[in-house]
Structure 1
Amino acid sequence: MADARTRYFRRLKRLRRSARRWSVLAGGLGGAAIVLTPYAGLGLADAFWAAAAGGSVALAGWRWADLRALAAQPAPPPPDPALAGEQARQRLVNAVQRLPIGRTAVEEVRRQQARFALRGSGAAGPWARLDRAAMTLHGLAARLTGPGEPAVLEAAVAERSLRDLAQRVAGVEKALRFAPPDTRPALEDAHSTLVGQLDTGVAAYERLVAAAASYVAEDGRMVTEDPSVTRLTEASDLLRGVAAGLAELRDTTPRTPHPGPTLA
């Protein structure tokens, strides 16, 4: 998508071309109307020539007026290179996400970037545990139907909250590196509290994932036998029956003796 400055000059160029085109057309139609109009008066065909010439002159005047009005406006400032780079990156990400496996690839890249940013932090371990639990729940989400659907929504909200809490832990740790000595005790106490909350939250999330797995397992045990297994069993019985029938038919069919060689 073009920026405002590019759109401005593009529109200015279109208006200039349109004004020139209508000016040329108005001049041609006006000259033709003057040459072809007889001195004895206007006929029906001559009236069409005159009307087309007048309309072209009016449209050319409107286009030149629009061009002058747009040219009088100041051009938008050039975009910030950093902002332009970010917009280009976002366009690339959006294009990749439209591919069949693009969304999964982008999410994996973002997950790895976040994990790398938390490397060496006290939030790195809980973050990794949260990643594993979230991926497990994502695999179970399609089977969490009925009473299990609200749990998926609650898990999504809890995951976002826990990831934000992990970022807070990492931010406090960075501040501890250059904090004055008199402020360190308060920051260390706050850091310990945040780490405890993060550990407790991730453990609760893991228990939710375990409960979701139990729900999926018990829901699957409600079915006495998998329909696919039943179909495979029926197909096997059918093939065995056909094979047994062919074997019985072969045994009951009389064999024709092979004629031996005849002596001359």
Structure 2
Amino acid sequence: MDERTRYFRQLRKLRGSARRWSVVGGGLTAAAAVLTPYAGIGLADAAWAASAGASAALAWWRWSDHRALAATPAPPPAPPAIPGQRLVAAVERFPAGRQVLQEVRRHKERYALRGSAVAQAWDRLDRANATLTGLAGRLTGPGEAATLEAAVAEQWLRDLGQRVASVERAIPLSPPDQRPGIVQAHESLAKQFTEGVTAYERLVAAAASYVAEEGHPASAQHPALGGLIEATDRLRGIAEGLSELRRPATPAA
């Protein structure tokens, strides 16, 4: 829901609430004015009057809020959405759809890099990113900061890889006198991308080591494993004891 739609919805809610409380307050005020002269001010009449006053006050507050909001300029209308964008937004509302769209975008980016000098390094970046995504849920404490740094580095590397591929496609179209400079710049960018992917892989390896060491118990055996072994032995002993009790006794000779 965009800001303009939310603004007008809130305006309608305030107007409707103010009207309802105005009607309730008017009805209670009229009832109190008619019923009070017949028997004087009693307990019931005091309740009628109090309800009428409270309703009138609420109606006044609602109308004040409505006037204040109406005096605020409405947000500008959102640009019309393209049908394809609407479909993408609808699919992204579901976790499974979001994963499918991410996979489609990944294949689209990989297809744009086909035949490029950084295609293999791009595949390595995809594998390292998938591995880090699986480890992200277990990276706590200092690992969370490393995850944020890895996300920033991944965006930079993907932008750099696409830039390398764009420059590489422009090399055959460049004039002969300018081609050596473009080739040199392309090689420098490609080297920077490859070194960045290698550093990203090292970060993923360090994250895996962190997760492994954090989950490793201080002793050689995890307490949960020892508990499983003890429970198994205990149940086996109970089962053997029950078997001995149910076994018929051997008659004496």
The question of a shared fold, defined as TM-score above 0.5 by the shorter chain, is answered with yes
Aligned to 2:53: none
Displacement over 6 Å in runs of 4+ = none
1:215 equivalent in alignment to 2:210: yes
Q: Any gaps of 5 or more consecutive residues in structure 1?
A: 2-78, 257-264
How far did 1:96 drift? 1.5
SS of equivalent to 1:221: coil
How far did 1:254 drift? 3.8
SS of equivalent to 2:172: helix
> Which whole-Å deviations, capped at 9, do the CAs of 1:208-257 have from their partners, x for residues lacking one?
01111111111111354445534532432232022111122124x5479x
1:96 equivalent in alignment to 2:91: yes
TM-score (norm 2): 0.63
1:236 equivalent in alignment to 2:232: yes
C-alpha distance in 1, partners of 2:93/2:250?
A: 68
Q: Which of residues 147, 152, 159 in structure 2 aligns to 1:164?
A: 159
* Change over 3 Å in CA distance of 1:222–1:234 after alignment to 2: closer
Letter in 2 for 1:196: K
C-alpha distance in 2, partners of 1:149/1:227?
A: 27
C-alpha distance in 2, partners of 1:223/1:89?
A: 54
* Change over 3 Å in CA distance of 1:228–1:101 after alignment to 2: farther
How far did 1:102 drift? 1.4
1:127 equivalent in alignment to 2:129: no
Letter in 2 for 1:218: E
TM-score (norm 1): 0.61
Aligned to 1:247: 243
> Which whole-Å deviations, capped at 9, do the CAs of 1:181-216 have from their partners, x for residues lacking one?
111011001001001100110000011011111111
How far did 1:95 drift? 1.5
C-alpha distance in 2, partners of 1:199/1:89?
A: 35
C-alpha distance in 1, partners of 2:226/2:139?
A: 24
SS of equivalent to 1:186: helix
Letter in 2 for 1:106: L
How far did 1:142 drift? 0.8
Aligned to 2:147: 152
Q: CA RMSD in A?
A: 2.6
Q: Which of residues 103, 116, 119 in structure 2 aligns to 1:108?
A: 103
Which of 90-99 and 125-134 deviates more? 90-99
Q: Any gaps of 5 or more consecutive residues in structure 2?
A: 2-78
Letter in 2 for 1:238: R
* Change over 3 Å in CA distance of 1:108–1:226 after alignment to 2: farther
Q: How many correspondences in the alignment?
A: 177
SS of equivalent to 1:182: coil
Q: Which of residues 187, 190, 195 in structure 2 aligns to 1:192?
A: 187
Q: Which of residues 159, 183, 198 in structure 2 aligns to 1:203?
A: 198
User: Which has the greater radius of gyration?
Assistant: 1
* Change over 3 Å in CA distance of 1:93–1:255 after alignment to 2: farther
Q: Which of residues 172, 177, 184 in structure 1 aligns to 2:172?
A: 177
C-alpha distance in 1, partners of 2:222/2:93?
A: 36
SS of equivalent to 1:174: helix
